[in-house]
Structure 1
Amino acid sequence: MTESQSPLRLVGQPAAPQIERLERPSYAVYDGPVSVGGKVFRAGTWFHGIKHSHGDEAGQPFDLWICAPLHVDAETINSDDSSVGRLLRFKYRRKEVEHVMPMEALAGKGEEVLKALMRQGLEIDYTHRRYVPAYIASHYGLERVLATTTRPGWHDASGAFVLPSRIIGSADVRYQDSGKGALLFTERGTLTGWQTELAHYCQGNPVLILSVCCALAGPLLAKVGVNGGGVHLVGDSSSGKSLAQAMAASVWGNPGVFAASWDMSKGGIEIEAASRNDTVLILDEIKRADPKRVQEMAYAIANGTGKGTMTREREGRPKLYWRVLALSSGERSLSEHAAISGNTAHAGAELRMVDVNAGTRTYRAFDNVHDMTGAVFHRRLTTAAYQHFGHVGPAFVERLVQEKDQEQVYHRFTEIRELFEASSPQAGRVADRFAIIGLAGELAITYGLLPWPVQTAAHACRQLFQKWLASVGDGNAEDRQILTAIADFIALHGDSRFSDISAELPNPNVRQRAGYYEIEDRKRFYLFNRASLVEASNGYGRERIIRTLETYGVLAKTDAGRRQKNYRLPGGGSTRFFVVDPDRLDTERSSA
C-alpha cells in the first residue's frame, strides 16, 4: 500500500475530514488523517505534485509524505541583528516544540535546517528530506511577525524576560538559539521544597544570604541602573564556598550545569556571561584562572561588552553583550592570584570583584549551622540544592513583571542604598552592588519567595559591605595602591638600593640605585629618583604617582615652585629627588 492509498478504518474510528480537491503542485500539513477523493492521507506534511512526461499534458499526480506535521507559524525578526527567520512548530512525543529558524539556514541545500529539526525530534522521511527546506521556503508574506533574541534576560522592545524554555511577560517574542548549547535554565523539585530545605537555613548566615540574593539581583540591574560586577568569596578549601555557590545556582537551574568555572579563556568568559544575561555568573576556584588574564576577565564581566572580531570578509561580527553579577570563589583574592604571574594588582579589577570573607567565620563560611554539625549542615544543603532548583528565579521575575509601578523598585533601592554609607565614588559603586543584592532579597521576601523576616537580606549585605570597607578603606583605590606599593618598595630595598646622602663618597655596595636617604632626628626620608618612583608603583604613570603623593602630603621637602628638592651628591655633583616621608605612607595604609 502506497502512502496515498486508503488504509482500513476500524469500526468506531472517526472518519477522516473530507477535502474536495488538491492544488498541485502544493504542500499541505495535516494534523490528523484527511480524506481526499476517496484517498486517506495520514498526519504529516505532504507534497502533492504532478509529473509531466512526454506526450502527457495532463500529467500524473503523486503524493509524498515528507515529515511529521510541521507548521510555519510566523515570520521572525531578530532584535540583536535584524536577521529574518521563521517560527516552526511541531510535536515530539506529544510535546510541542518551537524552533526559530534563520532564513540564511536555507541557503545551499538546507542541511542546517534538517540538522536542527532532526536534533529536536522531528520525524523526516530520509528519502524525501530535500523537500523539507523547500516547504519552509514556500511560506512568505506571513501576517504574523514576532521578535526574537539570542540572549536570555530582558527584551527591551517587548518588556518580556526571555529564557530559553519560557517567555515571561509577552507572547510576541521568542528565544533563538542553535540548539547545541547546554540547558542552563532547568527545573527540578518544587519551589516549596527549595524554600524549606534551602532558603530556611540561610537565616543567620550572611554569606549564604548574600549568595542567594546575588543570584536574584541580576534582573534588577537594568531597572535601577547599577552596573555589573562581582563578589568573590575568599576562604580555604572545604570552607563552604562551593555550597554558597551551589545555592546561588539553584535559583536558576541545576547547580552542576548552571555554575561555570574560571578555567576558560577571556572569549569563553564572554560566552558564559552572555548566556546568563540578567541573571548570575557563577565562577568557582579562581586558582584555575590564568593569572595573566584574570584581571582583564574581571573587567570584561563588569563592563558587559565582548571583544570585537572580524569575519574572513573583514566585516565586523556582532559583539556579545551582557548584564550580570558574578559570584566567584577561591582560596586567594583576585589581586593575590594576579600577583602569581608578576602582574601588579589593578584597583579597578579589585573593585569589580570585591572580596568577601568566607573562611574565618564561626563555622568557616557559616555563622549558624542550625543545631547540626558543620559537615552535616554542608551535606544536607548540598543534597537539597540538587533536588530543588530552577523555580525561584523565574518566579521572582514574574512578580517583577507584574509590578504596576515600576518606579517603586527604584524607590526601594534608594531607601536600601542609604544603609550603605560610603564617601568616595569608588566605594560608592561597591555600595551600589551590595545594595542591589540586598534589594533583591527584600523584594523576594515581600513577594513571599524567601521565608525570612523583613530586612534580613539588607542587614546581611550591609554587614558584609562594612567588613569590606573596613579592610580596604573608603579612599581612592588607586591612591591606596600607589601608597602601599611605595611603602613595600622601601621595605624591600631600603638598605640595598638606597644609601646615606650625607656620605662623603658613594656606597659601592648599592647596585641599581633607586636613590638615597636623609636622616633627621633619627628618622629616614627616602630620596627617590625619577625612574625608581615609577618602578615602585609599577602600572601607574609618574604624574599620577606624584599627584597621589601631593594629595596625601607624602612629599616632605621641595624647592620653591617644584615637586623635588636639589641635593649635593656623595662624591660631587647634584641632582633633584622626590623626598618621601615613610610615616605618611604607613599612616595612610593603616587607616585604609
Structure 2
Amino acid sequence: MTRAKGVFPVIPRRCKAPRDCLFNFEDVKVSNHEENSGAVADNVTPIDAAKGKPAADGSDLPFIRFSGGWVYLKTCKTDKKGETYYSLQAVCKSHLRVIGTGWVDGEAFRVLELGKDKRRVMMPTRLIGSRDGWAFLQGHNVQVTPVPELRRWLHEYLMSETAYDLHGSPCGVLPEWDVADKPGWRGGAYLLPDGDMIGDVGNVIADFKLRSNHADVGVCGTVDSWVENVGRLLYGNDSPTLALGVAMASPMLGVLGVSGFGVHLYGQSSGGKTSSCYPAMSIFGSPSNRQASWNSTPLALTLLARCCNDALMMLDEMKLLRAMVMEEAIYGTFSQRSRMQGNKDGTLRPEYSWRCCVLSTGELAADVFIRMMTGRDADAGALVRLVQLPYRPLTNLHGFPDGSAFADHLRAASDEHYGAVGRAWVDWLSSNQTLAREKFAEVKARWNGRGTHGQHQRVADYFAVIETALTLSSKTLKLDVKECQGVLDRFYADWLVDFSKGGNGSHEEALLVERLEAVLSQHQRFLSKTANDQDYKQPGELWGYFHDRGDAREYLLFPAVFKERISGTIDAKVAGRLLHTRGLLRRHGEHLTVSERAGGYPNKRRFYALSLPVVDDLDAEEVL
C-alpha cells in the first residue's frame, strides 16, 4: 500500500475485519517516517498491552506520542454501524509539545516547545483551534495536519492542562510559567535580547514585545580570538580602555544593585572617538549593529534603553539630538522608568523599567552644546547622570603607521570578533555574584572621599563600578589592573576640573561664579553709585551700580537682574548663600541683600552686593 507524498499517515489500532482475523499490532510500523528513524510500534505502546485483542475502548493506547520528530494523537471514529475505531494518527510533522501554562495581562497562554531546536513560544489560548491559531503555528514553521477532523484532536491536546512526558505518559498538571518582558537579570539567570538564557532561569519564558537591532547579541569568534585580535590593542590607550570598562560594568549593575549611568566622550571630529568605542560595543554583539545614534526622540531613547536592559547602549554623534530636548532625553534615559500615563477609561498604562550603561560620543560636551544652542546652562543632575569626559586620543599605535590606520584596524577587528566575551562574562557573573559584590566593596573604598560634594562622590561610585568590572575580568582579558586604575584616575581628575571648574564645590556653584563674572564684566551696564540714572545712555537696561569698598570694587545688582542673569534655574536664596560662602556676596545680617542709596534716589533700595573673585585665588580654568 502506498500513500501520496506529503499525506499524514494513519496508524490503525482497530479495524473492521473477519472475526477470525485479529490485527497484529506488533507487525505494524508507526509510519514510513519512523521506519527510517528506527522507531517501531513497541515504542508507541507497551508490548504487553498490544498482545492479543486490543481494548475496545482504546485504553491501551497512549493519548499522545512524540516519535521521530512527529506528533501522534489517539483518535476515534464511529462508523454507520456503530463500530468505534481507535488509532494513533500523525497530527503534526514537526515537534510540538505543550510544556506549561500561565497568565499575562489577564490572558491565559500555553508554553509550546517547537521544532528540532525545541524553541519555546507563548500561544494565547484564545487562538487555539481558530484559523489565527493554526496560522500562528504555521508561522513558527510547525507543519500541522490540514485535515479538520485531526485538528480537532490537536485542539483538545493544546487546551488540556495535563502534562505529558516525551513518551506520551501523563505526568501531572502543566506547571505555571512566568513571563519575562525584558532582557537582563532575572534571579540568578540572565536573559539575552534574542530570548536565549544564561544560567538556570526556571519556568520563565521571554516575551519581548520590544526588540531592536541595536541590542544585537550575535557571536563571531571566541573569547580567545577577541583577546588576541582586539583586546591586546587596548593596552596603552586610555579611551578604549575606559569604554571597555563601561561595557563590562553594564551587566554588573543588577548584581551590585546600583543605578545606571553614562559616559560621554567628546573631542574634535575624526579623532577616533567612535573607533575607540568599537571594542566595547563588540563585547555583547556586532558593533556595527549595536551602534545607535542620538538622532532620536526622547521616547525612542527610553525604549532603546529598555531593549538594552542590563547591557551596554551606544549612542553616537550627540549634536544630532535637538538641544531643546537633550536634558529631557538624558533624564528620561537614566530615570530607569517610563513616564506614567493614563488611559481614557481612567486606568493607568503599564510602566516599564530598565537599567543600563550608556556610552556616548560627540564633538561637544553636553553642557557646551546646550548653552551654545539655547543660551542656558545644563542642569547639574543631567551632567551627573551622563558623565562627560574629554576624549584621549590613541597613543599606542601597536606598530601601525598612524592613528587613522590603527583606528580602522580596531574597527575591522571588532567587526570580526564579537559577542563571545559578553556571554562568557555574564555566565561567570551568574555564578559569582557574591564575589563581585565583595570586590566592589573593596574597590569602592579606594574611591571614597573623592571631592567634597555629593555630586563628586556619586560619579566616583560610577568609576568604582567600572574599575570592579575591569579588575574581575582582567585575568581572562589580559588587562593590567594598575594601568586600568591609572586610566580611571586620569579621567576622573579631568571630569572634576571640568565639572567644578577647578574648585571643590558643586557644579551649580561653579556655574554661579561663571555667570557672576560674565555679568560684572559688562561695565557698560553699570553706573557709578554717585551718578544719576539719567546719566545712563547705553543701549539695553541698567543692571546696577558700582563703587569702591576698601581695596575692592563692589557691584550693587538689582534683585530682578540677579535672579534672571546669575541665579538662573537655581533658587535666588540658594544662589545667594553659595556666593556668600565663596566670599563673593556681602549680606546684611540675615538678609542676602543690602540697603543702599544709589542712582540719585533719595530713598534706600535693596541690592545684591557682589564682587569679582580674586584671580590669585583661582585656577586658570576658573577665569573667563
TM-score over 0.5 (shorter chain): yes
Q: 1:127 to 1:211 in 2, by over 3 A?
A: farther
Per-residue CA shift, 1:402-436, capped at 9, x if unaligned?
A: 22844423333334435x73322111111111121
Give the Å deviation of 1:526: 2.0
Give the Å deviation of 1:535: 0.7
Q: Write out aligned runs for 1:447-486 (5 A).
A: 448-473=475-500, 474-486=504-516
Name the CA distance, whole Å, in 1 between partners of 2:275 and 2:601: 66
Name the CA distance, whole Å, in 2 between partners of 1:344 and 1:168: 44
Per-residue CA shift, 1:107-145, capped at 9, x if unaligned?
A: 99573x656644443334567698677653333683433
Q: Residue 266 of structure 1 corresponds to which residue in structure 2? A: 298
Per-residue CA shift, 1:501-525, capped at 9, x if unaligned?
A: 2113431435333222224568542
Q: 1:252 to 1:119 in 2, by over 3 A?
A: farther
Q: State the SS of the aligned residue for 2:416.
A: coil
Q: Is the Cα–Cα contact under 8 Å of residues 73 and 87 in structure 1 kept in the other structure?
A: yes
Q: 1:229 to 1:133 in 2, by over 3 A?
A: farther
Q: Residue 379 of structure 1 corresponds to which residue in structure 2? A: 408
Name the CA distance, whole Å, in 1 between partners of 2:226 and 2:288: 16
Name the CA distance, whole Å, in 2 between partners of 1:170 and 1:10: 34
Q: Write out aligned runs for 1:20-99 (5 A).
A: 28=64, 30-32=66-68, 43-44=70-71, 48=75, 50=77, 65=91, 68-76=94-102, 85-91=109-115, 94-99=116-121
Which of 141, 154, 166 is equivalent to 1:121?
141
The amino acid of 1:3's aligned partner reads F
Matched, 1:138 2:160: yes
Which of 259, 269, 287 is equivalent to 2:319?
287
Q: 1:321 to 1:582 in 2, by over 3 A?
A: same
Q: State the SS of the aligned residue for 1:192.
A: helix
Name the CA distance, whole Å, in 2 between partners of 1:579 and 1:457: 48
Which of 570, 581, 584 is equivalent to 2:599?
570
Matched, 1:309 2:341: yes
Q: 1:209 to 1:518 in 2, by over 3 A?
A: same
Name the CA distance, whole Å, in 1 between partners of 2:33 and 2:359: 62
Q: Residue 147 of structure 1 corresponds to which residue in structure 2? A: 178
Q: State the SS of the aligned residue for 2:323.
A: coil
Which of 188, 204, 207 is equivalent to 1:176?
207
Q: Is the Cα–Cα contact under 8 Å of residues 396 and 449 in structure 1 kept in the other structure?
A: no
Q: Is the Cα–Cα contact under 8 Å of residues 255 and 433 in structure 2 kept in the other structure?
A: no
CA-based RMSD of the aligned residues comes to 3.5
Name the CA distance, whole Å, in 1 between partners of 2:482 and 2:419: 24
Per-residue CA shift, 1:433-483, capped at 9, x if unaligned?
A: 1121111001001xx321122333222112211121233333211222222
Question: Alignment length, in residue pairs?
Answer: 562
Name the CA distance, whole Å, in 2 between partners of 1:11 and 1:107: 31
The amino acid of 1:504's aligned partner reads N
Name the CA distance, whole Å, in 2 between partners of 1:13 and 1:498: 97
Name the CA distance, whole Å, in 2 between partners of 1:230 and 1:184: 19
Per-residue CA shift, 1:309-357, capped at 9, x if unaligned?
A: 2344332222221121111110011112222134431111111111222
The amino acid of 1:65's aligned partner reads V
Query: What is the TM-score normalised by the length of structure 1?
Result: 0.84
Q: Is the Cα–Cα contact under 8 Å of residues 190 and 199 in structure 2 kept in the other structure?
A: yes
Name the CA distance, whole Å, in 1 between partners of 2:356 and 2:616: 37
Which of 424, 439, 455 is equivalent to 1:409?
439
Q: Residue 515 of structure 1 corresponds to which residue in structure 2? A: 544
Q: State the SS of the aligned residue for 2:575.
A: helix
The amino acid of 2:477's aligned partner reads L
Which of 365, 369, 385 is equivalent to 2:397?
369
Give the Å deviation of 1:179: 8.3
Matched, 1:3 2:35: no
Name the CA distance, whole Å, in 2 between partners of 1:514 and 1:51: 101
Per-residue CA shift, 1:15-53, capped at 9, x if unaligned?
A: 5334467589997453328xxxxxxxxx2465846589x
Name the CA distance, whole Å, in 2 between partners of 1:51 and 1:391: 58
The amino acid of 1:426's aligned partner reads Q
Give the Å deviation of 1:216: 0.5
Q: Residue 500 of structure 1 corresponds to which residue in structure 2? A: 528
Name the CA distance, whole Å, in 1 between partners of 2:319 and 2:580: 37
Name the CA distance, whole Å, in 2 between partners of 1:462 and 1:589: 20
Q: Residue 390 of structure 2 corresponds to which residue in structure 1? A: 357
Structure 1 residues not aligned, in runs of 5+: 34-42
Q: State the SS of the aligned residue for 1:386.
A: helix
Q: Write out aligned runs for 1:217-228 (5 A).
A: 217-228=249-260
Further displaced range: 530-539 or 507-516: 507-516
Q: State the SS of the aligned residue for 1:274.
A: helix
Q: Is the Cα–Cα contact under 8 Å of residues 64 and 72 in structure 2 kept in the other structure?
A: yes
Q: Residue 186 of structure 1 corresponds to which residue in structure 2? A: 218
Name the CA distance, whole Å, in 2 between partners of 1:3 and 1:305: 51
Q: State the SS of the aligned residue for 1:293.
A: helix
The amino acid of 1:471's aligned partner reads D
Which of 275, 284, 287 is equivalent to 2:307?
275
Q: State the SS of the aligned residue for 1:145.
A: coil
Give the Å deviation of 1:195: 0.4
Q: Is the Cα–Cα contact under 8 Å of residues 444 and 461 in structure 2 kept in the other structure?
A: no
Give the Å deviation of 1:234: 0.4
Name the CA distance, whole Å, in 2 between partners of 1:559 and 1:11: 101
Further displaced range: 519-528 or 205-214: 519-528
Identical residues among aligned pairs (%): 23
Name the CA distance, whole Å, in 2 between partners of 1:11 and 1:147: 39
Give the Å deviation of 1:187: 0.7
Q: State the SS of the aligned residue for 2:251.
A: helix
Q: Is the Cα–Cα contact under 8 Å of residues 128 and 155 in structure 2 kept in the other structure?
A: no
Q: Is the Cα–Cα contact under 8 Å of residues 484 and 585 in structure 1 kept in the other structure?
A: no
Per-residue CA shift, 1:72-96, capped at 9, x if unaligned?
A: 1123467xx79764321111xx433
Q: Residue 581 of structure 2 corresponds to which residue in structure 1? A: 551
Give the Å deviation of 1:397: 1.9
Q: 1:224 to 1:571 in 2, by over 3 A?
A: same
Name the CA distance, whole Å, in 2 between partners of 1:563 and 1:470: 29
Q: 1:404 to 1:471 in 2, by over 3 A?
A: closer
Give the Å deviation of 1:386: 0.8
Structure 2 residues not aligned, in runs of 5+: 12-30, 164-172
Further displaced range: 406-415 or 523-532: 406-415
Q: 1:422 to 1:13 in 2, by over 3 A?
A: closer
Q: 1:51 to 1:233 in 2, by over 3 A?
A: farther
Name the CA distance, whole Å, in 1 between partners of 2:85 and 2:35: 33
Q: 1:469 to 1:139 in 2, by over 3 A?
A: same
